[in-house]
Structure 1
Amino acid sequence: MPSPTLTRHQTLVLNALQRAKEPTSAYALLEQLRDEGIKAPPQVYRALDKLVSCGLAHKLDSLNAFVACAHPHEHEHDLVAFAICKRCGSVQEFADHAIEQHLTDLSQAHAFRMESAIVEIRGICGNCPTA
């Protein structure tokens, strides 16, 4: 899949997400990018909508925040999963064929056609102490 052509605002938002150490809200992005010419929430939300629709970013609904896609050109899967650390806020993105197949089977068993799924797993990452 060819890379989409991005506007200046979309590129600024994507670059900010790629620099972020943890999921970032639209309003935090707005504050970071004010000096770059992004002045209003709709500008950030439009950019985020485009980035998500192109598979360059993901929305983590449980956090109401966004992350840059870790594998932007490898989305042949319908399922994207995230391990979110409660302590340090790190996010790891992964795909798993077995989980994807299980969700597909469950969907079909209930006469539901799955188009996509996002799984958010919360816990403690391997870099954080467990105590």
Structure 2
Amino acid sequence: MAAREKLTKNQLRVLEKLEAASGPLSAYMLLDQLREQGFRAPLQVYRALEGLMNAGFVHRLESMNAFVACSEPHDHSHRLIAFAICDKCGQVSEFSDEVIGEQLDAWIGSTGFAAKRAVIEFRGTCAKCAALAA
């Protein structure tokens, strides 16, 4: 992961909001939360998010069109990240496993497909919400 010291002021502000959030945030939710800090346009948020994703600080949840701060200190070079998203409380758990990533790369590569990245999202109920329902 890149050092936080290399982040721009806007990137730091966006990252701090995502780290403090209890769940994923859309770019427009971030914009609303950052207006008092000088953010006026969605493009400011999207630029900051792009830089944060490229640096490995933030992930985009494809199914929700929302963003979360990276919670796991892992190497992003193997391109496979998996998320477990609770449909009840919105909690997001992040997983990364280089061995599984290599196995999936080999499998998809055997078909002739050239993958650039993979995002796997599991939707369901977290352990805390399941215990509350029991």
1:62-77 residue pairs with structure 2 within 5 A? 62-72=63-73, 74-77=75-78
Query: Which residue number in structure 2 is paired with residue 46 of structure 1?
Result: 47
Q: Give identity over the alignment, percent.
A: 48
After superposition, give the CA deviation of every residue in 1:51-110 in whole Å (9 maximum; x if it has no partner).
Answer: 011111000010010000112553243210000001100000011244313311222111
Query: Which residue number in structure 2 is paired with residue 115 of structure 1?
Result: 116
- Counterparts in 2 of 1:31 and 1:72: CA distance versus 1, 3 Å: farther
Query: Which residue number in structure 1 is paired with residue 3 of structure 2?
Result: 3
Give secondary structure in 2 for the equivalent of 1:100: helix
Structure 2 unaligned regions, length at least 5 = none
- Counterparts in 2 of 1:74 and 1:104: CA distance versus 1, 3 Å: closer
2:46 aligned partner, one-letter code: Y
Query: Which residue number in structure 2 is paired with residue 100 of structure 1?
Result: 101
Offset of residue 36 of structure 1: 0.5
TM-score by length of 1: 0.91
Q: Bigger shift: 120-129 or 73-82?
A: 73-82
Measure the CA separation in 1 of the matches of 2:2 and 2:58: 16
Query: Which residue number in structure 1 is paired with residue 36 of structure 2?
Result: 35
1:73-88 residue pairs with structure 2 within 5 A? 74-88=75-89
Q: State the 4+ residue runs in structure 1 displaced beyond 6 angstroms.
A: none
TM-score by length of 2: 0.89
1:91 aligned partner, one-letter code: V
